[in-house]
Structure 1
Amino acid sequence: MEDFIKNQTFAVHAVAGVGAITLGTAATYPFETIKTLIQVGSGPDKQLSAHQVFDRVRKLSGASGLYNGFGWLAIGRIMGVGARFGTYELLTAFYKDGRKDNYVYVSEALMAGIVAGGVESLTSSPFELFTVRAQVAAASRVPDTSNLQKPSVSSSSAAKLLRGYCPDVKALDHSVGLLSTLNTKQTNLNGSLKEYPWMMTGTGRAPPVYHVRRPVDVVSLEGWSAMWRGMRSGLVRDCVFGGVFFASWQFLHRAMLDWKAVGMDPIPRFVYIVNFVCIGFSYLLNLVFNDFSIDEDIGPLHPLAVSLAAGFSGSVAAAASHSFDTAKYRSQCLVLPKYITMERKFLRWSLPGKRFERYTGIHPRDRNILFRGIKLRMVCSGITSFILTGSYFFMIDKLT
């Protein structure tokens, strides 16, 4: 009977968590789409506004285009946020073990948040790839290939690497015509040249990103490693986000508990708090005495206050990690076929940029556009964190 109750409690919290994450993602997803398109569509000399992006998506894909890729992001966030909070709770459980006050220091929350962010990045990276490419497809003018004549010979390599893709026949014939001027006795030279992978588009470039957005297309053309493209910048982004988020949230949580303890009658145990007007000074005084109140004596905080603290922490964490977010999304919009990756490996191709840029996955050409869309991301992250926390408490209260 005890095991059944424990399993039922776990199921209730799991259902509440999934519902809260889905609701928070759905509420801000149109802004997420606009923010992503600003990041990947801007350049050093080209700065897109939110109004321009919205008009383009509405004209090409309609209002529903703002929700392109929502399913991928919802699944990725359910798994990623679950891994983040699960890892954080496991690590902080070791910190709190043996302490009377059940307290976690801000520095400990920072370290646990960094580790939790790394686990989240590894979990949610493949889903972010499909989300970004679906969002780009909503703002791209995809040509209609139903009326195009598919060549029988030259489509063999394209059909193997990217199903359903029809290459540009004119560009393909023109490129082959430039290459087939060699004096040779081979009768089927044109057809042989067209079967090479780098002739898929006829221009020597990879297919556009809106043609490579399904899992089967990504795996067949780019390989399994493409699922974790931009892992360097994504790992740094989520580690910074997790560390700042949990550290600021723990600081605000502790400050709200101390503020609630001021003026309580009877005074909670082990509290050395004078009724100061400035809450920050009372918090510093607690650090000097290193003797905090026991949270059970103070009682739980109001869910609205906890939700507001989570929203503020999410906005601050988003601002601190936004540059790495831009670098990750821009790298995920690059289509790198397997033969190009293999050539780079054989030639020992080194990443461009300075040492910090190489370690964090930032391309040198993106230096001036790393903070595009930072306001939208702060708003989205703050609202999502607020809705996630508030709806989670609400569902737990109703389900239990």
Structure 2
Amino acid sequence: MATAHPQPASVVVAGAGIVGSAAAYFLARRGLTVTVLDALAPAAEASGAADGAVSVASKRPGPLMRAALQGIALYRRLAGLDPDPETGLQGDDAPLAGLFHPRSTFIVAASPAERAVLEAHAAALAQAGVAVAAIEPPAIKARFPALSAAACLVIEVRGDGHAIGYQVVRQLLAAARVPVLRGCPVTRLDIDAAGGRIRAVETPRGRIAADAFVFATGNGTAPLFGLQAVLTPRKGQLLITERDLALSRAMPGSIMSGRYLLSKGSQTRALDAGGEQASISAARGFGLVVDPLRTGQFLIGGTREDHGDKRETDLAAVSRILSDAVALVPGLAGVRLLRGFAGARTAVRDGLPLVGPLPGLANGFLATGFEGDGICLGPVTGAALADLVCGTAPALDLAPFAPSRFAELQAAA
């Protein structure tokens, strides 16, 4: 998907989350003059509330699984764990050195139904080239003593990793050495309709012109492009506990309930007797993840919700998350909860992100709708955006993510 225009000299990147920050880094590395705008501040939204899972474990076969594998490989290069084939950067010369930590993810089945789903999922991962290993009773107790006796199958997904979103954003922007304008949302596009190009963006700080524009604007994308029928702010609630080093040592990695595989897209809308939408208060999906952090604390999540205040937690959700966590890891019953927090991820109605050229605008590019996959796909998407802006074909296949697949976006542009 190469563009037809010569490489621009300047580019505005709207959005300083992990995708926008990665795009800014790769564009600056190519020698472009980059200006980053953010409605609030870097990593102020979904990137700052992410669980940090750089993982293929929950991906189903298809474009997201393939993208996740490329995303993990790029993290390893940016962290200096593998040589960069272009620059040979390793160790302290790599921009994410020390921020990406390789580890396995363990998916746990605690019922016959979950076991059947997990066995099929493990086979799909293996067929895609992911290294997986099955752990059966009684080896589960020896390998993972913290798990409940109900655990009947554990699938270890090797080659995953962990990175803290706001740290990745901060380091990519620092390495890019580009100006970041905080509190500067894009309010309108100044479009040359005859030329099919964006001349500038309007912001509270005035009009900002450039040769090209990248919009990694998360939940700000829908009002900007009229995509309220395509994009949904999807809330997620997460919990942080106190330290328990002994319990942490009994967990060799992050665990994911088999039900997590079913939580994506599990929201349902309540209908009244006439078939009309009556309420979305029950539109909430749960999928359990228990992550032993490097501090000895535990991160526990979470929910997928299409309703409610996107920054607030609630007692019903917290109680359900904790109950599920204790059922799978009984030792958590003796660990105090320190805090809960929430964030709003951007979901697309067909489950795939929007990444690629804006229809009808030769110098406009969009990247949004990653939901919970932004932490994994952020750097590889940023690299692909830099390729698009500069007129070269990305290594990442963006065809399944093309924004042009939605008629609403074609009309908006």
TM-score normalised by structure 1 residue count? 0.22
> 1 or 2, which has the higher strand percentage?
2
TM-score normalised by structure 2 residue count? 0.22
> 1 or 2, which has the higher helix percentage?
1
